[in-house]
Amino acid sequence: MRLADMLPPFIEDAERNIELVTKPSVTSDRFEPLSPVSAKNYITNLVILADSVVKDGVPLGGLTSLRQLLDPDLVARGLDRMQADLVAERMQAKPGRPAQVHGDRKSSTINSKAWLPIVHATAYAAVAVAKDLQVDDATMAELRRIARKIGSAFKKQRKGMTPKNKARLGQLDDPRARRPFLNLPAIVFHRHANVTKPTFKQAREIQDATLLAVLQDLPIRVANVVALDLDRHFVRPNGGAPGCWRVSIPGWEVKNDEDIDCELTPEVSAMLERYRRVFRPALSGKPSPILFLSRDGIAKRETTMSAQFTQFIRRESGLGLNPHLMRHFCVNLWLKESPGDFETPRLLLAHKSSDTTRRSYAHVQQQAAFDRYHAVMGRERAEIAEALAPAFRFGRRKRKGAA
């Protein structure tokens, strides 16, 4: 179900809650307002919970408010049903073959005893909303107990990046693929260097190249990408003069409530200026401050922006990447050059804790450790390696007497 499928009182309650938690208030227990993205995500998770509760036999008519849904017994019942349904659905997705967690052949198979990420997220969404609603102490304690139980098990299960994302990023381990990828924005801009009156198709190509250039400099989430506003988020050199653009995104717009403030490189700033001045007007005839605007002059949906990016990368390079993988790519690239430095990636990704960064990218450190170890072994073996080389030639030898 979606929020629109719930009863009108529930919808009104949810919208009222979003408005309440995203505005400063002296009566709220929150030190700072919640970002609109986080507030909407919490409600989305609770609608998924309500869907599972209804599927488990609870009448929809009994869910007329967030407070009714957040009864601990209903929450536990809904989470159990959600876990069971999702595991069964994914195991039946491809009859006769092992089910895949991410629908990809390279992903690990489903562990029916492992809590799924959506269940974990929903448990904590229930706690967050219950706190905002100021439910009674007994209810709050029980919801926290449920969330801690799932959370503790989930942390033990999580071992960093998913196999699917590791496989995708593996495409860029080879410098022959990585270097053209890093230079792709410049290649596309050079292709249209002499264009002064672009067609829509040319403008779209430059929009895609600009998006990639921005994400290479500033690995932000797709939700922040689509919301980038020339008036609110950018400080540009006066009068379009050469110089670096600055991006400032306030914490309340970011998932982790962390401010993002970054001066872009001169190369990317120059691309942004040319895109803004020459190509962006060809995308829509309507005035709009949105950087990556649609034909209608409004911000594109996250799914639309992601699909557009993926198609562009595949068409230009043959690689299979999405915008969110640019965050992983950024950290991988840094850790290979600076092993052990998790503080820099934490700041780049606007994580609250370096533990999050360390847990997600431990595999990069492990591979770097093996690379260093193998290099040491190689140096030790070097003296006799040449003499032993003939013994390791595995070509087929002719048998004696063979013609």
- Summarize pLDDT for 256-273 with one digit per residue, the tens: 788 899 999 999 999 999
pLDDT of residue 356: 73
Q: Break the chain into its structural domains and give their ranges.
A: 3-158, 165-360
CA-based torsion, 344, 345, 350, 354: positive or negative: negative
Mean pLDDT of 180-191: 95
Which residue from 201, 221, 225 is spatially nearest to 211, judged by alpha carbons? 225
Instruction: Determine the straight-line distance between the first and last CA of the chain, rounded to whole angstroms.
Output: 74
Q: What does the DSSP assignment read for 312-379? A: HHHHHH-----TTHHHHHHHHHHHHHSTT--HHHHHHHT-S-HHHHHHHTHHHHHHHHHHHHHHHHHH
- pTM of the entire predicted model: 0.61
Mean pLDDT of 329-344: 84
Mean pLDDT of 270-278: 95
d(CA 146, CA 75): 9
pLDDT of residue 283: 94
Answer whether residue 367 shows pLDDT above 90: no
- Summarize pLDDT for 131-178 with one digit per residue, the tens: 989 899 999 999 999 998 888 776 665 556 677 788 888 888 888 999
Answer whether residue 398 shows pLDDT above 70: no
* 125 Cβ contact partners less than 8 Å away, ≥ 6 residues apart: 41, 42, 45, 46, 49
Confidence of residue 391 (pLDDT cuts 50, 70, 90): low
Residue 294 exposed, middle or buried by CB count within 10 Å (0-12, 13-18, 19+): middle
401 CB neighbour count, 10 Å cutoff: 5
State which amino acid sits at residue 244.
Answer: C
- In CATH, the number for domain 165-360 is 1.10.443.10
